[in-house]
Amino acid sequence: MLLTDLLALPFFEDRHRDLAARLFDWASRHVPGLVDHHDVDGSCRRLVAALGQAGWLDACVPPNGETLVPLDVRALCVSRATLAYVDGLADFAFAMQGLGSGGISLFGTPEQRAAACPSVREGRAIAAFALSEPDAGSDVAAMSTTAQRVEGGWRLDGLKTWISNGGIADHYVVFARTGEAPGAKGLSAFFVEADSPGLSVTERIEVIAPHPLATLRFEQCFVPDACLLGAAGEGFKVAMTTLDIFRPSVGAAALGFARRALDEALQRATARKMFGGVLADLQLTQAKLADMALDVETSALLVYRAAWTRDVQQRRITKEAAMAKLHATEAAQRVIDAAVQLFGGLGVASGNIVEQLYRDVRALRIYEGASEVQKLIIARQLLAERRERG
């Protein structure tokens, strides 16, 4: 399905259609010259600067001193689907600016917002979100990094891992245990400059779809009082509210990857000669293409339904966002796998577009809440709705 067909859905307004068309045109012309997949740090720096200068980061970071809500979630999702279609690293660079500054723009004071957000929005600073730890991934409440009150601020000690933009970020939103209550209620969020004494990058992590990713160590790292985001003890809320807003956009990125894979598969299937015709003449191929299209279009409906609900009905979208993320990421994996199959040997050849997509899509089913976690969220919401109805 063409992007223009998806954007004709009643979920959108003309400004979203215009955004998608302009961003696609810009990304097609500029992104290939900015990305070198063998130099992800340099690529991400160039991408962030270019996205900021061209004004595309306006869709994920609010202007000077303003809060993230109301954020145009449809604009965020359209941007991610468009960038992911063109290049996974471009989508990554875009999304992390929003996720990495979300805690500041949502819970920061006007001074904190004004100090941090404009440079992130303009692509002059790189942002990151440091929640996960070696022993606390899905189980966020098991976090063991601590922040102890000291004169004038806090002292952070512990390890954070799987931190996207780790090593190239200018600042991090870091979550640590401050102990107001046991478990999730005893966490707080902090804005931490990357050059803070006591903060170091201990390891760069290599993954199948390379991007800047690192483990951070905090050793008696002093953070001034002015860097606490929200109230002490509110860290879990800061993390979950940020993730709630960005979750449907992970589905949007998956949708972008899946659309690209379907387009590439259609092109290949109609060009590849075999058995006296082309691959697309075979009914088993047609069945595969039909399944792929169904997966793409159901993902689009769920992702854009979640974004529309948030924007237009202005209510929490916990269930809708979880459904969008779960379905779109799982479906994109199936679509891309089918595309690899249709390409035959070429599908697994390094550097082929579907091989790249195959690696790009995998982590989306794990981060920002693994698929199993999304299922639990959906079921809990269903049961709560049932209880409310009595």
Ligand X SMILES: Cc1cc2nc3c(=O)[nH]c(=O)nc-3n(C[C@H](O)[C@H](O)[C@H](O)COP(=O)(O)OP(=O)(O)OC[C@H]3O[C@@H](n4cnc5c(N)ncnc54)[C@H](O)[C@@H]3O)c2cc1C
Active site positions, annotated: 368
Asked if 138 is part of the footprint of ligand X (rule: CB under 6 A), the reply reads: yes
User: Rounded to 10 degrees, what is the CA torsion of 226, 169, 49, 94?
Assistant: -90
Smallest distance, ligand X to C-beta of residue 373, A: 5
| Pairing mode of beta strands 213-224, 127-130 | unpaired
Q: Is 38 helix (H, G, I), strand (E, B) or coil?
A: coil
Contact status: 274 vs ligand X (CB under 6 A)? no
With respect to ligand X, which residue has the nearer C-beta, 22 or 359?
Answer: 359
Of 162, 218, 246, 358, the residue at the interface with ligand X (CB under 6 A) is 162
Residue 130 found at the interface with ligand X (CB under 6 A)? yes
Q: Contact region for ligand X (CB under 6 A) — 16-24, 126-134, 177-185, 345-353?
A: 126-134
Q: Does 372 bind ligand X (CB under 6 A)?
A: yes
- Tell me how far apart the alpha carbons of residues 187 and 183 are, in angstroms, rounded to a whole number: 8
Residue closer to ligand X, measured from CB, 12 or 191: 191
Closest distance of CB 378 from ligand X, Å: 13
C-beta separation of 43 from 86 below 8 A: no
State the minimum distance, in angstroms, from the CB of residue 69 to ligand X.
Answer: 21
In whole angstroms, what is the distance from residue 367 CA to residue 369 CA? 5
Among 45, 49, 58, 137, contact with ligand X (rule: CB under 6 A): 137
Binding mask 226-255 for ligand X (x = CB under 6 A): ------------------------------
Q: Which of 164, 299, 329, 356 touches ligand X (CB under 6 A)?
A: 164
Check binding of 379 to ligand X (CB under 6 A). Answer: no
Q: Give the nearest distance from C-beta 329 to ligand X in angstroms.
A: 12
Near ligand X in 192-231, by CB under 6 A: 207, 213
| CB closer to ligand X, 9 vs 373 | 373
Closest CA to 313 of 97, 88, 118, 70: 70
Nearer to ligand X, 6 or 214 (CB): 214
Judge whether 99 and 129 are in contact, CB under 8 Å: yes
Whether the CB-CB separation of 229 and 78 falls below 8 Å is answered with no
For Cα atoms 354, 360, 362, give the angle at the middle one, nearest 5 degrees. 110
- Rg for the chain, CA atoms, rounded: 21
Contact residue for ligand X among 6, 61, 75, 131 (CB under 6 A): 131
Residue of 114, 278, 370, 378 interacting with ligand X (CB under 6 A): 370
Stretch that binds ligand X, among 157-165, 179-187, 253-261, 309-317 (CB under 6 A): 157-165
Among candidate residues 200, 178, 205, 197, the one with its CA nearest the CA of residue 189:
178
Nearest to 152 by CA among 226, 220, 231: 226
- What torsion do the CA atoms of 227, 106, 128, 226 make, to the nearest 10 degrees? 0
Give me the least distance between CB of 337 and ligand X, in Å please: 18
What is the rounded distance in angstroms from the CA atom of residue 148 to the CA atom of residue 58? 35
Site membership for ligand X, residue 262 (CB under 6 A): no
Whole-number Å distance between alpha carbons of 94 and 46: 11
| Under rule CB under 6 A, residue 93 binds ligand X | no
Tokens 């200018």 correspond to: 170
Range in contact with ligand X (rule: CB under 6 A) among 192-200, 219-227, 296-304, 366-374: 366-374
Please name every residue paired with 319 in a beta bridge, in sequence order, or none if there are none. none
Three-state DSSP class for 312? helix
Q: Which is nearer to ligand X, 159 or 339 (CB)?
A: 159
Contact residues for ligand X, defined by CB under 6 A: 129-132, 137-138, 162-164, 207, 213, 363, 366-367, 370, 372-373, 376
